[in-house]
Amino acid sequence: MFFFNRRRAGGARHSTTHHSAGNAAPPMSEWSTAAVPNSAFASMNLLLGAGMVIFQEETNKIVLCHEKEKKYWFLPRGRKDVGESLEQAALREAYEESGFRVKSLPLYTGTHAPSPPSDPESRNRPNCEPLMITTHAYARRKSFHNNTLSPPGEYLSFWYAGWIPIDAVREEGTGMPDEVNYESYLLTVEQVLEKLGPGSDHEANVVRYAWAVYQHTMQIYAEQEQQQALARGVEEVTESSNRLKL
> Would the pLDDT of 97 be above 90?
yes
**What's the confidence (pLDDT) of residue 143?**
72
User: What was the pLDDT predicted at 1?
Assistant: 44
Is 11 among the domain residues?
A: no
Residue-wise burial string across 45-69, b where 16 or more C-beta atoms lie within 10 A, e elsewhere: eebbbbbbbbbbeeeebbbbbbeee
Distances (CA, A) of 74 to 70, 97, 151: 12, 10, 26
What is the pTM (predicted TM-score) of this model?
0.84
Look at residue 223 and tell me if it is in a domain. Answer: yes
Assign residue 50 the CATH number of its domain.
3.90.79.10
How many domains does the chain divide into? 1
Q: Categorize the per-residue pLDDT at 11 as very low, low, confident or very high, splitting at 50, 70 and 90.
A: very low
pLDDT tens column, 147-201: 788 899 999 999 999 999 999 999 999 999 999 999 999 999 999 999 998 877 7
Q: Percent of the chain having pLDDT more than 90?
A: 74
31 found inside a domain: no
Would you say residue 175 lies in a domain? yes
Within a domain: 27: no
pLDDT at 129: 98
Provide the percentage of residues in the chain whose pLDDT is more than 70.
85
51-88 pLDDT tens trace: 999 999 999 999 999 999 999 999 999 999 999 999 99
204-218, pLDDT tens digit by residue?
A: 999 999 999 999 999
Tell me: pLDDT of 245 over 90.
no
Following CA atoms 104, 134, 206, 3 in sequence, which dihedral angle do they give, to the nearest 10 degrees?
Answer: -90
Residues spanned by the domain of 93: 42-113+121-245
The reply to whether 181 falls in a domain is yes
Mean pLDDT comparison of 10-14, 145-149, 184-188, 240-244, highest-scoring range = 184-188
Tell me, yes or no, whether 69 lies in a domain: yes
Q: What is the mean pLDDT of the chain?
A: 88
Inside any domain, residue 154:
yes
Higher pLDDT: 8 or 229? It is 229
| Closest C-alpha among 80, 110, 109, 112 to residue 93 | 80
Looking at residue 213, what is its pLDDT? 98
186 CB neighbour count, 10 Å cutoff: 20
